[in-house]
């Protein structure tokens, strides 16, 4: 195994990222919702950059931007996504797409670049990467709806000028694999002072809706002893989860109550209904199953109280393993450019790579997030860390391509 | 003290209540929002009934319907309210207004009848009775806004044909006092098998907004150890209230969390903010103060955790005492018509009587609520209990008037 001496151009990379930030600037971050006017302008700008890098760009029928090179020989696909969460950070997926562009320029032949559409899920769940691997049907497009304004995905695609365009599908055999860089979005690297995370797996997310049914009544005239307060039942269950889960979880397990809704939600009415959105994430399916069993027990115990509690599974994604050989290549490159300052780690967030991994070897590289902040306009990574991460990616890609 | 032999006409009373239910029937209940078309139709219908009963009806500039008799001699004011909560019960305040009408017919001279506007607070807090006692200014009308659809109180009054009408004000000396009948809205009478509640006081309601400030972050990439989950902080405080308050409250104290809001309220985002609407009710100001002190301590303890908790007082009403002589008159009448089946009790809900009590002796009588249910279309009271309550009210009024 020889290590190539390919070098990226850090200034050029930072200039591209800074230019991309101008599409929808919000404070020091970006507001660039999928298929919005500014999002489409940014996709056309990416096409120009791809063309300059010697790639033939195409925006397909679901909004994926793919820049492909000509000729034979081993080839990899690099990328991520460029739309953002509302009023969110400038790096997030943009970093991985601009890394792809810079690596294509630095490594040359053999690197295709992609910006997957709507990884942030404005209209659906990973429509871009799922479309590419053949797991997003026309019916899925029909069903897509913007979660903020309710606009249908079809209408949004038409307004973006994409109606009727073909969708690009994976060609088996074209690529050795897929590599995606991303900011960590957590503080693990920052807290250890490390610079590169080599992703071992992308966690499974098991999400639940927990519904509570009590009896709505007057908050002044109903004695405490006879109340069937659905909101209180919900609070007690969440408190029980908070007490139990730390004693049975794995090292990196996380769980979150993202929403609590009381019905009707008025100050002087005892809630007759309550709903809790809850999710668990772990890279190990056995851990997920163990926690789900514990959750089921807690819900059963809640049913011994005055309200009825029911557990509904909303989604259950399988943890996705990253390719071991790609991980090794990334680790060798990391050790060369950031000796001792890298670690293998699971990804707590979902990424397009989890879908690409179903059709080809896939891997991910993380760079540090300042303060662990993401999905907020203040999200940032130091210039040095941005450049270092791209150099590591370029070196790994060069090794994979046999340069 | 002689007890009069005045008898009410139970059939006529039930026929009136049944007719009034037709204005906005919803299932077995009523949907009759303040100043709506159907609400105004019902107010005009009440005017007709008042006129038949020998009273001169008037709808004033805030929507109060008052029927006044001519001549001298002692006089009392009887009533309640006739608009309803959304899709709520047919009795609630309607019972007290129809009692007033029936007592006016049975007792004759000396009984004025009123339906106060918007006791249910669609636009403001007790605008009808507060207007009458001079505690609801033109600026208060300007500030009134429908809490469901945002329509201004001015626009609603204009649409109801009430713009520019004078508002009827209390004339000191006109009345010996005010009496209001109401369904209990709780299950105290039903659970003891009693028929009449004689209200000793209307509870004070101390309402709070408890705000929690944490750090919004990604639900997948942020380790549990470093989270500042505002939603979890809110849940822990509510659970602590639930553990502590039963050990320090009074016999009839009630407290309620009516709403919990997590910000931003998405499944994959750790809430950076949370807000809890909380209220405590008791007839004893010392009990309210003790519980508020305990709440302040719990909030201070919550601040030892990773999030900042702040307690904001939203409102703090003083418990309102009912007139002892009127209570005695109601008790004598109750003992005559329902011997042994009555009790003195505080009102856990607010009522117009708490405002009238500021300008004249006031009292309230409760009849049982089936299942303790109120503010729901299934709210009900047996015909026998409805008729019995009115007979007790009539006898008490006759005694107060010296008949």
Q: Which of B219, B229, B373 sits opposite A279 (nearest CB)?
A: B219
Q: Is A218 on the interface with B (CB under 8 A)?
A: yes
Strands B196-202, B342-347: pairing is parallel
| Statement to judge: residues B282 and B339 lie in one domain | no
Task: Give the count of domains, chain A.
Answer: 2
| CB atoms B221 and A185 under 8 Å | yes
- Give the per-residue pLDDT at B4: 72
Q: Which of A254, A266, A267 sits opposite B223 (nearest CB)?
A: A254
Diameter of chain A measured on Cα atoms: 80
Residue A294 has pLDDT above 50, yes or no: yes
B191 falls within a domain: yes
- On average, the pLDDT of chain B sits at 96
Chain B nearest C-alpha distance from A251 (Å) = 9
Domain boundary among B261, B293, B316: B316
| Statement to judge: residues A294 and A261 lie in one domain | yes
Report the complex ipTM.
Answer: 0.83
- Give the per-residue pLDDT at B386: 98
Give the A:B interface size as CB pairs under 8 Å.
196
- Give the per-residue pLDDT at A375: 86
**Rg over CA atoms, chain A:** 23
| Statement to judge: residues B191 and B305 lie in one domain | no
- Give the per-residue pLDDT at B194: 98
Sequence length of chain A is: 403
Residue with tokens 């609590």: A260
Sequence length of chain B is: 403
Give chain B's end-to-end CA distance (angstroms, integer): 10
Q: What is the pLDDT of residues B93-143, one digit of tens each?
A: 999 999 999 999 999 999 999 999 999 999 999 999 999 999 999 999 999
Minimum Cα–Cα distance from A148: chain B residue:
B266
| Statement to judge: residues A336 and A369 lie in one domain | yes
| Statement to judge: residues A153 and A173 lie in one domain | yes
At B292, which helix (H) or strand (E)?
helix B285-302
A149 falls within a domain: yes
| Statement to judge: residues A335 and A384 lie in one domain | yes
Q: What is the pLDDT of residues A347-374, one digit of tens each?
A: 999 999 999 999 999 999 999 999 998 8
DSSP 3-state assignment of A300? helix
Residue A1 has pLDDT above 60, yes or no: no
Take residue B376 and report the two structure tokens written for it.
């729901």
CB within 8 A of B92, min separation 6: which ones?
Answer: B81, B84, B85, B182, B183, B185, B374, B375, B379
A3 falls within a domain: no
Average pLDDT over residues B9-32: 98
CATH code, domain carrying B259: 3.30.70.360
| Statement to judge: residues A312 and A345 lie in one domain | no
Q: What is the pLDDT of residues B37-80, one digit of tens each?
A: 999 999 999 999 999 999 999 999 999 999 999 989 999 999 99
Q: Is B247 on the interface with A (CB under 8 A)?
A: no
| CB atoms B219 and A260 under 8 Å | no
Q: Is A370 on the interface with B (CB under 8 A)?
A: no
Give A-chain residues touching B232 at CB under 8 angstroms: 238, 242, 257
Q: Which of A220, A229, A254 sits opposite B220 (nearest CB)?
A: A254
Average pLDDT over residues A214-227: 92
**Distance between CA atoms of A203 and A184, rounded to whole angstroms?**
13
Structural domain of residue B279, as residue ranges? 204-316
Domain boundary among B257, B284, B316: B316
Q: What does the DSSP 8-state code read for residue A51?
A: H
Average pLDDT over residues A373-394: 96
Residue A2 has pLDDT above 90, yes or no: no
Strands A76-81, A177-183: pairing is parallel
| Statement to judge: residues B290 and B169 lie in one domain | no
- Give the per-residue pLDDT at B5: 82
Strands A342-347, A269-270: pairing is unpaired
Average pLDDT over residues B6-22: 97
Average pLDDT over residues B368-389: 95
CATH code, domain carrying B96: 3.40.630.10
Tell me if B392 sits within 8 A of B343, measured CB to CB.
Answer: no
A106 falls within a domain: yes
pLDDT above 70: percentage of residues in chain A: 99
- Give the per-residue pLDDT at A196: 98
Residue with tokens 């009759």: B32
Give B1's pLDDT tier (boundaries 50, 70, 90): very low
Burial degree of A338 (CB within 10 A; 0-12, 13-18, 19+): middle
A97 falls within a domain: yes
Give B2's pLDDT tier (boundaries 50, 70, 90): low
**Distance between CA atoms of B403 and B395, rounded to whole angstroms?**
9
Tell me if B218 sits within 8 A of A369, measured CB to CB.
Answer: no
B4 falls within a domain: no
Interface of B with A in 332-361 (CB under 8 A): 347-350
Chain B nearest C-alpha distance from A25 (Å) = 21
A109 falls within a domain: yes
| Statement to judge: residues A87 and A175 lie in one domain | yes
DSSP 3-state assignment of A218? strand
| Statement to judge: residues B139 and B222 lie in one domain | no
**Distance between CA atoms of B387 and A163, rounded to whole angstroms?**
70
Domain boundary among A282, A316, A350: A316
Burial degree of B50 (CB within 10 A; 0-12, 13-18, 19+): buried
| CB atoms B187 and A226 under 8 Å | yes
Q: Which of B78, B93, B161, B141 is nearest to B330 (CA)?
A: B78
- Give the per-residue pLDDT at A143: 96
pLDDT above 90: percentage of residues in chain B: 94
| Statement to judge: residues A305 and A325 lie in one domain | no
Q: Which of A196-205, B280-289, B369-378 has the lowest mean pLDDT?
A: B369-378
Q: What is the pLDDT of residues B172-213, one digit of tens each?
A: 999 999 999 999 999 999 999 999 999 999 999 999 999 999
Tell me if B39 sits within 8 A of B83, measured CB to CB.
Answer: yes
| Statement to judge: residues B70 and B108 lie in one domain | yes
- Give the per-residue pLDDT at B313: 96
Q: What is the pLDDT of residues A147-191, one digit of tens each?
A: 999 999 999 999 999 999 999 999 999 999 999 999 999 999 999
B121 falls within a domain: yes
């Amino acid at each position: 195994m020889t290590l190539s001496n390919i070098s990226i151009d850090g200034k050029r990379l930072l200039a591209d990222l800074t230019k991309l930030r101008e599409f929808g600037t919000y404070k020091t971050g970006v507001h660039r919702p999928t298929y919005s006017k500014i999002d489409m302008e940014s996709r056309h700008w990416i096409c120009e950059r791809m063309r300059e890098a010697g790639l033939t760009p195409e925006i397909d029928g679901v909004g994926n931007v793919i820049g492909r090179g000509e000729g034979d020989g081993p080839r990899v696909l690099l990328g991520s996504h460029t739309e953002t969460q509302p009023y969110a950070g400038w790096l997030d997926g943009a970093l991985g797409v601009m890394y792809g562009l810079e690596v294509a320029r630095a490594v040359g032949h053999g690197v295709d670049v992609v910006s997957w559409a709507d990884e942030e899920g404005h209209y659906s769940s990973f429509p871009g990467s799922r479309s590419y691997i053949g797991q997003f049907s026309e019916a899925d497009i029909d069903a897509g709806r913007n979660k903020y304004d309710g606009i249908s995905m079809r209408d949004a695609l038409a307004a973006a000028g994409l109606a009727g365009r073909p969708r690009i599908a994976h060609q088996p055999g074209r690529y050795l694999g897929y590599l995606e860089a991303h900011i960590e979005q957590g503080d693990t690297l920052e807290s250890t002072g490390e610079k590169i995370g080599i992703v071992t797996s992308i966690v499974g997310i098991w999400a639940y809706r927990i519904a509570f049914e009590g009896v709505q009544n007057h908050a002044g005239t109903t004695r405490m002893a006879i109340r069937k307060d659905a909101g209180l039942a919900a609070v007690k269950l969440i408190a029980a989860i908070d007490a139990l889960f730390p004693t049975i979880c794995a090292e990196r397990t996380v769980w979150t109550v993202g929403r609590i809704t009381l019905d009707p939600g008025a100050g002087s009415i005892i809630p007759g209904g309550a709903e809790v959105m809850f999710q668990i994430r772990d890279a190990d399916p056995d851990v997920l199953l163990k926690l789900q069993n514990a959750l089921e027990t807690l819900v059963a115990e809640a049913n011994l109280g005055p309200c009825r509690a029911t557990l509904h599974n909303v989604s259950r994604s399988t943890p996705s393993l990253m390719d071991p050989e790609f991980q090794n290549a990334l680790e060798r490159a990391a050790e060369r450019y950031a000796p001792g300052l890298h670690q293998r780690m699971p990804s707590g967030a979902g990424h397009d790579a989890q879908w690409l991994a179903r059709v080809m070897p896939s891997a991910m590289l993380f760079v540090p997030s300042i303060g662990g902040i993401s999905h907020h306009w203040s999200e940032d990574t130091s210039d040095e860390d941005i450049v270092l991460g791209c150099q590591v990616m370029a070196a790994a890609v060069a090794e994979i391509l046999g340069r």
